[in-house]
Chain A
Amino acid sequence: MQLGKGCQSGEPEDMKILLCDDSITVRKKLAQSVKSIIDCEIIEAANGQEAVKFYNENNPELVFMDIVMPFMDGLEALENIIAKDSSAKVIMLSSVGTKANLQKALKSGAIDFVQKPWENDRLKIVIQSHLKEGK
């Protein structure tokens, strides 16, 4: 199996959620978890550059963004997305929930932080609470 670039998967729905992680394992597991919580179209990005591009093209309701990634890391991608759309809802989802990363992410406009490995219950609360607020 080849590790391709970011791709779109699933049935087209009104709701779009962008998942950005360089690990295809994470993207597949996360897509499965998100789909079990909410009907939506999943857009997958494999690095920060793709995330910025796919965000601009698709204007998703919610973004889950990893931090440590090649080409462009998640914090830089977050800044790029917020620079173009200050109302973007970006949730950092990373194994590195250090104080420094949390501070940087929140300062740069992230609305939440989910520590990997995630629990589906935590994911559900995060998705429901942020989608309720509206964009």
Chain B
Amino acid sequence: MFSAFFGNYLLNKGLVQLEDMKHVLDVMHTKHLKLGVLAINLGYMTAKEVENVHHKQAIMDKYFGEVAIEQGYLTEKQLEKLLSAQKSERLLLAQTLIEEGIMSHESFEEEIRLYKIEYGLNDDQFEAIKSGDVHVIATAFMTFEKKVEAQQFYIDFVTLFVKNLIRFVDTQVSIDRVQRIEELEYEHLISQYLVGEDTFFTAFGGSSEILLDLAEKYAETSFESFDDYAVDSCQEFLNVTTGLFAVNLSDQNIDYTLKPPTYVENALVRPQKTLYRIPVKLSRGTIYLIVGHLD
């Protein structure tokens, strides 16, 4: 998830080209962080000690950690921490960008600092992006200019929507800041109403290409084009999400009834009431999630 968020930021800033980012994402999953480099970064070992371990490894069939413990350079606890840090997506992304000659270590760290400032992320929110805590991420990106009464309601819905995307469609999901909609046209728009004490409206829109990809992944089949079957798959994806959301609300004794999802081609959204949209970036492109209350 960290690669999706920070990778999109680097792309948007023009610091990394799309083809380079695709290459980095492909190769980073085949790489492991080097324990020696991590040990130096964390201050557990000196460069000379790491070199000594490498030298001994060249003449004996032993793991880095085994030799470092035998030599008294590392404790078992430190090794455990190193092995867990080895899985860090952030460090893997950094190592790959640096090894591929796309960014320097200094520029990577500087961009991390600027990224946190640009999105107003505190340490917990930044940690959430690293650990994939969708609710904290949604809270960080769903900040409104003026106070919005249903803010928590929208955050909970966006959280569920993103979790379902990750579960059924694409693990590389990231969201951008929420925006108030003025007037927008979508090539395809899937929408649904939840009716209770008020009426909650939600929809998602996008191009044929990106929605076809979503439909295929959700239905676990392939379609020749964005046909009725593909539309049905997108509708069902939304229906499952709104249904689960209604169940969560029902557990809090708030009752909403779902209306069947609908589909409009070349939809012009001209809101009479305030609607918000959240850009949701997937591997193949961006869809726009819309939320709002109609009364």
Contacts and interface: CB of A to CB of B under 8 A. Distances in A.
Nearest to B254: A98
B202 to A, nearest CB: 14
A69 B258 CA distance: 10
B229 A115 contact: no
Interface stretch (B120-128, B179-187, B237-245, B270-278): B237-245
Interface in A66-103: 68-70, 94-100
Given A68-B260, A116-B240, A3 B233 contact: no
A1 B223 contact: yes
A69 B228 contact: no
Interface string A24-38: 111011000000000
A30 to B, nearest CB: 11
Contacts of B236: 23, 25-26
16 contacts: A1-B223, A1-B229, A23-B236, A24-B229, A25-B236, A26-B236, A28-B221, A68-B239, A70-B260, A95-B258, A97-B247, A98-B246, A98-B247, A98-B249, A99-B251, A100-B255
Contacts, number: 67
A51 B223 CA distance: 27
Residue from B218, B228, B240 whose CB has the most chain A CB atoms within 10 Å: B240
A95 B227 contact: no
Query: What size tier do the contact residues of chain A reach?
Result: 20 to 34
B255 A23 contact: no
Contacts of A117: 168, 240
Interface of A: 1-3, 22-26, 28-29, 68-70, 94-100, 115-117
B220 interface: yes
Nearest to B229: A1
A3 B229 contact: yes
B12 interface: no
B232 interface: yes
Nearest to A100: B255
A68 B246 CA distance: 13
Interface in B29-47: none
A14 B172 CA distance: 45
Contact of B227 (A1, A26, A28): A1
Contact of B250 (A24, A94, A98): A98
B228 A3 contact: yes
Interface in B157-203: 168
